[in-house]
Amino acid sequence: MASRPSATHGEVMDAAERALWEQLQSDSPERARQALFRQYQPLARRIAWRFMRDDPATPVEFAELLQLASLGLLEAIDRYRPERAVPFRYFCPRRIAGAIADGVARLSEVNSQISTARRIRRERTRSLAQDRAQPATLSEKLDLIGDIAAELALGLMLEGSTLYQESERDPARDAYETLAWNQAQRQVRTALETLPERDRMVIGWHYLDGLPFDEVANLMGLSKGRVSQIHKAALALLRKRLSASGLIRLEG
């Protein structure tokens, strides 16, 4: 009797994989999901490398690309149906690549927002530090730092009065602390209305509307440097009026 031909390695793997997909539909799919993930993780890694190779200017590190690819692979495993005629090795690459592309877009947007926020904070600090006398002693240096910090705090109050939403409150936050903070913000906003019109425009557009100095300058037909000077003077005047009225103590 002729012996039966032995199964090839590919046929054995296909049979084993079919068993994993069947197990994935059972009441205990965890091990099957893990095994399928390990089996196709090299493919996900290759797709991540290909994305890095084809777009070397991407602002995302390879570790992040690999993470996105892995998440895409897991999503593909969960969405795949074995009864489909398309084998999983052909089904998953497009899903992995899509997960990478979508993730990179989100990360790029977040990185851009972080970069913009950092640039705005640097502009504010430079604005408040410009044209001040260079401190000679440690005490004078500390006074200068205190002045700048107080004026930056005013800006945060103005910014927070726009960004802070009732629905976003931390329920664990102390009620008195919340009330005091809200009152302080209202007092700053009230004092803002007493500033000269040009000062109100710069402070309002920058802090309440979130425009960087260059955009404020375009709106006002001024140079960015002039807007920076107005910003500094306006916060100093705002601080002075608040302190003089006794509403908020912002001493350096």
Model confidence at 44: pLDDT above 80 = yes
pLDDT of residue 129: 72
- The CATH number that domain 130-164+173-245 falls under is 1.20.140.160
Model confidence at 73: pLDDT above 70 = yes
Model confidence at 54: pLDDT above 50 = yes
Reported pTM: 0.48
**35-41 contacts: CB < 8 A, separation 24 or more?**
36/77, 36/88, 37/70, 37/73, 37/74, 37/77, 40/73, 40/77, 40/88, 40/89, 40/92, 41/70, 41/73
Q: Which of 181, 171, 225, 183 is nearest to 202 (CA)?
A: 225
Cα dihedral 174→180→181→183 (10° resolution): 140
pLDDT of residue 33: 87
Architecture (CATH level 2) of domain 12-110 = Orthogonal Bundle (1.10)
Confidence of residue 50 (pLDDT cuts 50, 70, 90): very high
The average confidence (pLDDT) of the chain is 76
pLDDT of residue 236: 85
pLDDT of residue 92: 93
Spatial distance between the Cα atoms of 120 and 125, rounded to a whole number of angstroms: 9
Confidence of residue 147 (pLDDT cuts 50, 70, 90): low
pLDDT digits (tens, 9 = 90+) for 169-200: 444 455 545 666 677 777 788 888 888 999 98
Q: Which of 74, 91, 10 is nearest to 38 (CA)?
A: 74
When comparing pLDDT for 54 and 8, which is higher? Answer: 54
pLDDT of residue 83: 81
Q: Do domains 12-110 and 130-164+173-245 have the same CATH topology?
A: no
Residue 23 near residue 72, CB atoms below 8 Å: no
Spatial distance between the Cα atoms of 251 and 210, rounded to a whole number of angstroms: 26
Model confidence at 246: pLDDT above 80 = no
pLDDT of residue 47: 94
Percent of the chain with pLDDT over 90: 13
* CA distances for 55 relative to 48, 65, 201, angstroms: 11, 12, 42
pLDDT digits (tens, 9 = 90+) for 194-225: 889 999 888 888 877 677 888 888 888 889 89
Locate the domains of the chain by residue range.
12-110, 130-164+173-245
